[in-house]
Amino acid sequence: MRVDIRRIIGGLFVVYGVIVTIAGITPSDADLEKAQGVTHQPVDRINLWTGLAMLVLGLLFLVRLKLRPAQAPADGPDPADG
């Protein structure tokens, strides 16, 4: 059985997207201190926007996998030939 790489890539993007989105929604004081006074407006939340983009990309991979599953090659060896 072959493994479709879209499942692995899509799953990883979804998992990491959730983690980065949560980090973007709830920044800690230490994260804000690392920013060294850079404004923390909603547009400036790079973790939030990156996490959401990763979620969308991962979901696109998984939806594409569902809509167009991989087909086995037709010219492979015949197992009945022995």
**Rg (the chain; Cα; Å):** 20
For residue 21, give the nearest of 45, 53, 52, 60 by alpha carbon.
Answer: 52
Task: Give this prediction's pTM.
Answer: 0.70
Q: In whole angstroms, give the CA distance from residue 37 to residue 11.
A: 35
pLDDT in tens, 8-44: 999 999 999 999 999 888 877 777 677 665 655 655 6
pLDDT digits (tens, 9 = 90+) for 53-82: 999 999 999 999 889 877 766 776 666 665
Evaluate whether 17 touches 54 at the Cβ level (below 8 Å): yes
